[in-house]
Structure 1
Amino acid sequence: MINNRAVYIVLGCAVALLIRCNPADKIPSDEPVQRHEADWSDGLATYEATWPEKFGIGRPADKSFIAKWDIDVRPDGKGLPKGEGNVKDGAVVYQNKCASCHGVNGYEGPEDKLVTDSTGRNTIGNYWPYATTIFDYVRRAMPFNAPGSLTDQEVYDITAYLLYLNGIIQEEYIITEKTLPAVEMPAKKRYILDDRRGGPEIR
């Protein structure tokens, strides 16, 4: 049978030995950290010196590539392409390319709800401040499985349909690059411009 007292003695000696071998007793506590940081910086500089001028990854962005991505639309409508959309055609496009994620009526899911219902969740109808945001986001990011695949015509039609489903425009209203910025969103009054001064400003 193992003697418990002997076990305690052995463990005590082991702990004492580890304490005596601890280099922290011989070197100030902050010195190892400073030395480590210096070594790391020197090593990084040496490593960066080995980098080639170019890594051979990707390709230069030509004008056509940039034009494909430079499609942002501002709240005042700047950036909208010429075109028009209507609710009737938008309903067809929506059912074919949007309903599987957002529901037949825009609020069943399984993904984000687009149309205001009794749950009070944030949707286009009660949260978005600018109608132009609908066009910009749909054209840039939808449908989820093929973003950027919709034509401008389809995006205009979907935008009209979503505004109609949220009770913001009438069924006969035609969405164009001129009429879309004029649509007053119900939530716009909830937002204010950041006109603070005295700190970093982004304009």
Structure 2
Amino acid sequence: MEALDLMLNRVSVTRLTDPAPTSAQLDLMFRAALRAPDHGQLRPWRFLTIQGEARERLGKLMAESLRVRSPEASDDALLKARKMPLRAPLLVVVIARVQPHPKVPGSEQVLAVSCAAHGLLLAAHAQGLGAVWRTGEFSYDPYLAKALGLTGDEQILGFIYIGTPEGTLRTPPALEPKQFVSEWTGAN
């Protein structure tokens, strides 16, 4: 796939099914992710892969996390939380590991990890896989972060769901750059 075609046509794919990416495909996705811009070469990223029965264990943790956060959560909400990780055959937890640095603030490190996640999404699309980056309340939940083994200097930036697209990919909307770009010519 041509690079520009890839970038112009990648879309989030929410309906995913088996098979999951092969180990070779996953290796390429992570190699692409690791090419993200990285001021200071801090490599502030970490990833967890979750597949197979581990998705059910993650779902159980998500339901526990919801119950801790919202003791009044309904049975339907708890069931929905349990089923979230089952929406794709593979999940990648994107983790920012922010490190103290005199020239690279934490915000730049989080941006680098976000670029790595985008690289992973592009590499999935380039290989004919579907993927969607989801955040939501579980991305910010300290109970779940601790259960997944994150340390105090780490934060979840989201969950990338990856699998085989089910159905036809949607066509991305045509956006006009002039709606988002303007020229600055200097102060008056």
**TM-score normalized by the length of structure 1:** 0.20
> Which of 1 and 2 has greater Rg?
1
Structure with the bigger RCO (C-alpha within 8 Å, sep 6+) is: 2
- Choose between structure 1 and 2: higher strand proportion: 2
TM-score, scaled relative to structure 2: 0.21
